[in-house]
Amino acid sequence: MKPLVAPSMLSANFARLADDLEMVNRSEADWLHIDVMDGVFVPNISIGFPVLKYVVELSTKPLDVHLMIIQPEKFIPELKALGIRTMNVHYEACPHLHRVIHQIGDAGMLPVVTLNPATPVSMLTDIIQDVYMVLVMSVNPGFGGQSFIEHSLAKVRELRRLITQSGSKALIEVDGGVNLHTGAQLIEAGADVLVAGNAIFNAPHPQEVIRAMKQL
Catalog residues that contact Zn ion under the rule CB under 5 A: 35, 66, 175
Residues that bind ligand DX5 (CB under 6 A): 8, 10-11, 33, 35, 66, 139, 141-146, 175-178, 195-199
Query: Contact at 8 Å (CB) between 28 and 211?
Result: yes
- Of these partners, Zn ion, ligand DX5, none, which one is at the site of residue 90 (CB under 5 to 8 Å by kind)? none
| Residue 126 falls in the annotated catalytic set | no
| Residue 35 falls in the annotated catalytic set | yes
Q: Cβ of residue 96: shortest distance to ligand DX5, in angstroms? A: 23
Backbone torsion region of residue 48, taken as left when φ is above 0, otherwise alpha when ψ lies between -120 and 50, otherwise beta: beta
- Of these partners, ligand DX5, Zn ion, none, which one is at the site of residue 144 (CB under 5 to 8 Å by kind)? ligand DX5
CA angle 141, 73, 92 (to 5 degrees): 40
Q: Sheet containing 110-115: which strands, arranged edge to edge?
A: 4-7, 193-196, 171-175, 133-137, 110-115, 86-90, 63-68, 32-37
Please report the sign of the dihedral spanned by the C-alpha atoms of residue 130, residue 40, residue 67, residue 170: negative
Q: Which is nearer to ligand DX5, 168 or 194 (CB)?
A: 194
Q: Cβ of residue 197: shortest distance to Zn ion, in angstroms? A: 8
Q: Which is nearer to ligand DX5, 4 or 139 (CB)?
A: 139
